[in-house]
Amino acid sequence: MTGPIVHLARVSKRYGNVSALRCADLLIERGELLAIVGPSGSGKSTMLNIMGTLDRPTSGTLRIDGYDVGGLGDRELSALRARTIGFVFQQFHLARGVPAIEVVADGLLYSGKPRSRRRKAAEEALRRVGLGHRMLHLPHQLSGGEQQRVAIARAVLGDPPLLMADEPTGALDSRSGAIVMELLRELNDGGTTVVVITHNRDIAASLPREVRLKDGRIEHDTAAPRLAEEAS
């Protein structure tokens, strides 16, 4: 597939009388690493839900991996999401009392693959995030940073081209957060498009591209000069 992996054109989202996202234009090329940053209430969560196809725009056009989301039914949209997008959240959402390898393997529970293949894929994903030696540990036996890496392994299990990380360091100390951010950079170096949703300006400033939101609008995009030059 060629072309941008995410394209928002005049996308808005309203909840009743509240405009959570206003006329957003955003183009994300394959292989980019960027931050979407803003304070609470700026529209970050709404943009995450829209780009992650967890919610539909009220108006405007959204294309993910070349597909016009507005023209897809719920089943088609679920299939697109399953093969295209991995999600990492601030809270790790790891089942208590379940070893890391099973937590990750459960990400393929509805894939139709036999348990042995699911476990093998989970083992490879855990090795990919540096946890090959912790596969049989339970969540409470892992540090916060290790738990987040398990969550990342689960998110990249099917090798999705797009990874959405929502405040991935928000529940971590600074050292663990730095390790997780380095892992996201390594995944990006391997070809994964990584979008980090954050309120942390330092994290946003450390990434190659920064998109700032305020009151539901894109206030600034550090890629704007490049995009304007490409369009001319």
Both tokens of residue 21? 């996202």
| Burial of 165 (C-beta count, 10 Å sphere; 0-12/13-18/19+) | buried
- The full set of domains in the chain, from first to last, is 32-42+74-231 (3.40.50.300)
Integer CA distances (angstroms), 217 to 45, 70, 189, 227, in order: 13, 21, 30, 18
Query: Strand (E) positions, the chain?
Result: 6-15, 18-28, 33-37, 59-64, 67-68, 85-88, 162-166, 193-198, 209-214, 217-221
Which strands sit side by side in the sheet containing 85-88, from one edge to the other? 85-88, 162-166, 193-198, 33-37, 209-214, 217-221
Cα angle, residue 231 at apex, residues 225 and 232 outer, rounded to 5° = 90
Among residues 132, 48, 128, 34, the alpha carbon closest in space to that of 88 is found at 48
H-helix or E-strand containing 126?
Answer: helix 115-128
Quick: pLDDT tens for 210-225: 999 999 999 999 987 6
Helix (H, G, I), strand (E, B) or coil at 209: strand
Q: What is the pLDDT of residue 183?
A: 95
Per-residue confidence band for 229, with pLDDT thresholds at 50, 70 and 90: low
Bridge partners for 27 per DSSP: 7
Helix (H, G, I), strand (E, B) or coil at 3: coil
DSSP secondary structure, 30-44, as one string:
TT-EEEEE--TTSSH
| Residue 36 clears pLDDT 70, i.e. is over it | yes
| Residue 232 clears pLDDT 60, i.e. is over it | no
Quick: pLDDT tens for 57-112: 999 999 999 999 999 999 999 999 989 999 999 889 899 999 999 999 998 887 77
